Amino acid sequence: MSDDKAVMRWDPYSLTRDAEFDGFWRAHLAKRDRRILLVLGRGFDVRALETATRLKGVGANVAVWLLAYDNGLNDSAKRSALTQANYNGLVALFGAAAITPIDIAIGGTAGETATSRNTKAALEAAGDCLVFDDVVVDISAMPRLVAMTTVAVLLAKLDGVARAGGKSVNLHVTTAESVSADNDAAQGTLQDQVTLVVGFSGQLTSQTTENWPRVWFPVLGERQQARLDLIRDFIDPDEICPVIPFPSRAPRRGDEIIDEHRAILFDEFQIEPANILLACEYNPFEAYKQIFVSMDRYRRALREMGGCKAFVSPISSKLLSIGVLLACYDHRFGDVSGERLDVGIPYVETAVYGDPIQDEQSAYELYSMWIRGEWEEV
Amino acid sequence: MRNPFRIRASQRSVSDEEFVQLFGAGALDLMEKVADPWGGLVFLRSAPGGGKTSFLRLLTPRPLRLTDQLADTDQQVKETRDALRDVGALVSSGPDLLGTMVVFTSEYREMAGFDRANALFRELVNSRIVIATLRAVLDRAGRAYPEDLDKIHFDWAPESGATIPASANGRHLFEWASDIERGFYERMDDLGVTPAVKGGHARLDGLKWFAHVRIRDPKGPVEVKRVLLLDELQTLAPGQRTSLIEFVTAAREQCGVWIAERLEALTHRDLLSEGALKDRDYEGIIQLERRWSGSKAKVFGRFVESIANLRAAKADGFENRNFFTLIEEHDDLTAWSERFDEASVKIERLIGDANGNGNRYDNWLDEGRGRSGSALDRALHWRTTQILVARDQRRAQSSFDFDALASQELEKRGSSATERAAEHFLRTEVEAPIYFGKDVLSAVSSSNVDQYLEVAGELFEEILAKIRFRREQPMPLSPERQDALIRKVAATRWEGLVRRLPRGYEARRLLEAIGEYCRQQTFRENAPYAPGVTGIAITMQDRALLIDSPDDDVRHLIPLRNVLTSLVAHNLLVPKLDHQNNGKSLVVFYLNRLLCVQFGLPLGYGGWRAKSLKDLMHWQEKGAKAETLVKEATLV
């Protein structure tokens, strides 16, 4: 197998946690004049302005792309008020002139699967991000599909330009992470269709590779039975490897997630306990490595059968979603010398949100992940 | 130990052998009304979990062949084989059908965003029909796919402009189709700037090719009936679905085409038009839940019972037991006699109070006191009498209190419906189990196979656990535990409703209000709608206003229309036409029977009350609490 190597792009990695966030950005900005593009979501989440506030605090020169999503339905008074308050806060930080709204139509109540594709189209039309030195994508208040698509599209674009000898723009992803806040914000009505993140179809229904085994890695969080059910029906996998958060801040969280999903995992999906994988809850790069390696094991083991399709569903925290995206991106576009996996990221969007029950005082921790750029050239 | 009721037979992780052994032959009864299943167009529709994909899978080559082979050693498979012979899919020499399955997914719907003219859609469908046929031919011949592709050959006479090769072996066709698939996925997976659409196919030649192509496998020409099985059409974009169905309908090719789709693919007009409600389905539509309901409910019961026994037999340690012998059908009266006797005493006192100083119910009281039988029988008699007393007291003053009612009057005024209402009241009041037994298990499934398996699976899990510890003398699952487990499934489904259903919040509010209203009507002391109210109705005029009107004329009704349509598509409300004696027609929306469990209602059909659209809109907005604001329902 010596000629079939997969080299992990994000090993080592650059991750900055809350307490070091200001110091990291001060030092980064001190190296030279930098124009920062902050891409963030117009949403009701209590964490929406954390990155913006902190960047403002360290004196960054920031322009904003504000992704405004519309599912065609009326928002509740409470959500509208919270969203407007976040917007007003953003204007107060940078001024209205610095903010470019970018409208994205996302899935409504039934049958729509265009969110990821619409996000890609909106970003294509938004303007030139190459005029900036650093692009910061704050996914705290973004719906999961919008967040993952935004990071994937910008990463591919910036990689492509740099690879072609053009400017190398830095890409950072930030999120104010709180498992409880994610859980509290995320309840609502689900879409009845599974959507694939653009770029990651996994060639699911390809008839020419119909015989290839399908391996599914659902990265699990709390209360995900409905999503699991829909995605399992969609991809109809041959092998399922649930990924649970461990280590985690609450030491028993992984066990509790397994216990909560016991019936669906063991009775319905008939998974083998040995298939359960662990991924670090609070370090997306460690999670990336764990998922990447597991996917690679299948890739190499099953190449004798012609190939293998891997599907990874990020139905846990936003931080872990970035780990998932990086693992999938690296398998698709990274340094893999042998036959590549077909990689898919299936997800079920929330169609209609309930009113958030987030506590404004709820604790969260800011993470800054430096995904591409100067860091890799060191 | 795993629960075999949780296995989804249609999944590819279930082997063809296991699938054939789990298949309930009774499902093939559904083909009774299909005149020409292998030469015409057949729609197979249901709510999620109706069993469509399993049905189609059985018609593909390997399961057909295995059914033929395993029938001699397996009685259940023999029944399937006989049924397949009856419909001509099998003949004495083996399979006589080339079933070719193409499954759609939401990938196609995504394509609709940039493939406005459906050219890429047609191209992809053509390629997939070809590849699926290659697989089916090799499966039928017992050859390996894709290794043996060059051992099969295909010839046809394409019209000008057709792109499927006129003469080619399987390998060549595979390469041709693979190119199309590669192009599709390159576009789908491109993270760069989206290029303009080029190419595509102008016609859906795949169908004509499938119907007419001459096929040779290593044994010679393949001369069997052909059927194209198109699954999951609801995942297509509406334009794609419509164009595909129109094309297939107009083409009238010399092959069978089966289209399986969920009801959610249908519009409000498709689902709730007068024609659809009058069941004017032409013979080419099999709507599973509807076909299994009404007079076919008993047949459905037998069908799901056979599935339950097949599943149970798959469990380690269950051995050759019968699932239903382990489900208790009767109350444990030693445990409940005291409660029933207490209820009898209480009811006797209440009737005595109603008598006041008069003697109107003296004979009825004597009748009750002299009643023999079990504690349950006596309590039921008292509870029936109590309902009749309540009715009597509500009557207009046509008689005087001092007219003692004769004992015979008790029987005359009673009915089996009243007795069923009395039993439901009694069991509810003393908190005795209501939902238990084989028939209840079938009833709570609301004609949906998945729903049946979910409930039965919950019971089975506990039965299996009991067997492990009392292997020699397994005890049947008590009515109390059955009742508790069935209620637990109902509650879990209810909890998940908002999450799983489009417009989940509005849908739950409306159902909550319907449930609350049905409870209020059911548990009225005189049980006027015995055995209970489990549905609401709207007039056909209101139905026409809601369904047939242009959107612009009924903007205010669209949220209600959307929610009703969604609830019907998910089998949570079951529409039925009901004709009144005065010539007024209504459409009744019965609650899914698991919702009846959730609301503590009886499971029988027949009891409903008419409501206005205004009431329903109010309910949808306010939920259960709305019911206190709504005036007493109109008697129709």
CA angle A174, A180, A185 (to 5 degrees): 80
Helix, strand, or coil here: B520?
Answer: helix
Using CB atoms within 10 A of its CB, is residue B472 exposed (0-12), middle (13-18) or buried (19+)?
exposed
**DSSP per-residue string spanning B122-175:** HHHHHHHHHHHHHHHHHHHHT--TTTTGGG-EEE--PPTT--S-SEEEHHHHHH
The residues in A 52-71 lying below 8 A from B, measured between CB atoms, are none
Is the CB of residue A231 less than 8 Å away from at least one CB of chain B? no
**How far off is chain A from B264, nearest CA to CA, in Å?**
9
At A117-160, the pLDDT tens digits run 999 999 999 999 999 999 999 999 899 999 999 999 999 999 99
At B415-460, the pLDDT tens digits run 999 999 999 999 999 999 999 999 999 999 999 999 999 999 999 9
Which of A205, A233, A235, A271 best tests the B interface by mutation, with the highest count of B CBs <10 A? A205
**How far off is chain A from B129, nearest CA to CA, in Å?**
9
Contact state of B505 with A195 under an 8 Å Cβ cutoff: no
pLDDT at B129 over 90: yes
**How far off is chain A from B181, nearest CA to CA, in Å?**
7
With tokens 């200001």, the residue in question is A22
Is the CB of residue A328 less than 8 Å away from at least one CB of chain B? no
Residues in chain B: 636
Q: What pLDDT is recorded for position B95?
A: 94
Contact state of A206 with B174 under an 8 Å Cβ cutoff: no
At A294-346, the pLDDT tens digits run 999 999 998 877 889 999 999 998 999 999 999 999 999 999 888 899 999 99
Q: What percent of chain B has pLDDT over 90?
A: 67
pLDDT at B510 over 70: yes
User: B326, B476 in Cβ contact below 8 A?
Assistant: yes
Please compute the mean of the pLDDT values over residues B289-301 and round it to a whole number: 87
For chain B, the farthest-separated pair of C-alpha atoms sits apart, in whole angstroms, at: 99
Residues contacting residue B99 through CB under 8 Å, at least 6 positions apart: B56, B59, B60, B61, B64, B89, B136, B227, B229
Nearest to A214 by CA among A242, A241, A239: A239
> How many other C-beta atoms lie within 10 A of the C-beta of residue B338?
12
Residue A378: pLDDT band (50, 70, 90) is: low
Q: What percent of chain A has pLDDT over 70?
A: 92
Is the CB of residue A235 less than 8 Å away from at least one CB of chain B? no
pLDDT at A365 over 70: yes
At B246-284, the pLDDT tens digits run 999 998 888 999 999 999 888 888 888 877 777 655 568
Size of interface A-B (CB pairs under 8 A): 132
At A1-40, the pLDDT tens digits run 446 788 999 999 999 999 999 999 999 999 999 999 999 9
Q: In this structure, what DSSP letter does residue B330 have? A: S
Residue B634: pLDDT band (50, 70, 90) is: very low
**How far off is chain A from B578, nearest CA to CA, in Å?**
31
In this predicted complex, what is the ipTM? 0.86
At A67-126, the pLDDT tens digits run 998 776 677 788 888 889 999 999 999 999 999 999 998 866 556 778 899 999 999 999
Residue B515 CA, chain-centre distance (Å), reads: 20
Residue B630: pLDDT band (50, 70, 90) is: very low
User: A192, A230 in Cβ contact below 8 A?
Assistant: yes
The residues in A 157-216 lying below 8 A from B, measured between CB atoms, are 157, 160, 187-196, 198-201, 203-208, 210-211
At B314-373, the pLDDT tens digits run 888 787 788 999 999 999 888 899 999 999 999 999 999 988 888 899 999 999 999 999
**How far off is chain A from B34, nearest CA to CA, in Å?**
29
Q: What pLDDT is recorded for position A207?
A: 86
Q: What pLDDT is recorded for position B107?
A: 87
